[in-house]
Amino acid sequence: MKNLFICLAVLTTLFSSCKSNDNPTPTKTKTEYISAKTWIIDNLTVNGIIMLYQKGNTQNLYDLSKVTFNLNSNGTVTGTDNNGTAITGGTWAFNSDQSKVVLTNVTIQGGLALSSEFTLIQLNDTNFDIQGNVSYMGQTGNAVVKMIAK
């Protein structure tokens, strides 16, 4: 009887110490996702048909292979353009429901301006995709900009 009692006590202790994790990993906020990485352009399509840039393509209309973006948690945009010139003076913010990203004064040397309100298509640890108007050499078009983490 004493051995049965000891076995039950040991089993009870074992089972009670094997609790499931009641504290799941917290999810990141959109600001944490967007500001945690340096982003590079994977591809940029204008008006649904003109592929202005695609990473790895040797016949791009505009070379964006060295462009980097940092959307900092303080609302500033920094990075480099394809000539190694610093991108400064730009800002970013989410709209009230965080479905759009508003970029202001983000210009890449050579005439590509990303200063507009962009619909957020995807945002996670590896992808940051937006859609909105871009200006290039005096022309404006609706663009899908797909970025990946560097």
What number of other Cβ atoms are within 10 A of residue 45's Cβ? Answer: 18
Does the pLDDT of residue 12 top 50, yes or no?
A: no
pLDDT in tens, 102-128: 999 988 876 778 888 999 999 999 999
Separation of alpha carbons 78 and 60, rounded Å: 24
pTM comes to 0.79
Percent of the chain scored above 90 by pLDDT?
55
Mean residue pLDDT across the chain? 85
Q: Is residue 19 within 8 Å of 28, Cβ to Cβ?
A: no
Residue type at position 32 = E
Separation of alpha carbons 83 and 67, rounded Å: 8
pLDDT in tens, 68-107: 999 999 999 999 988 888 988 899 999 999 999 999 998 8
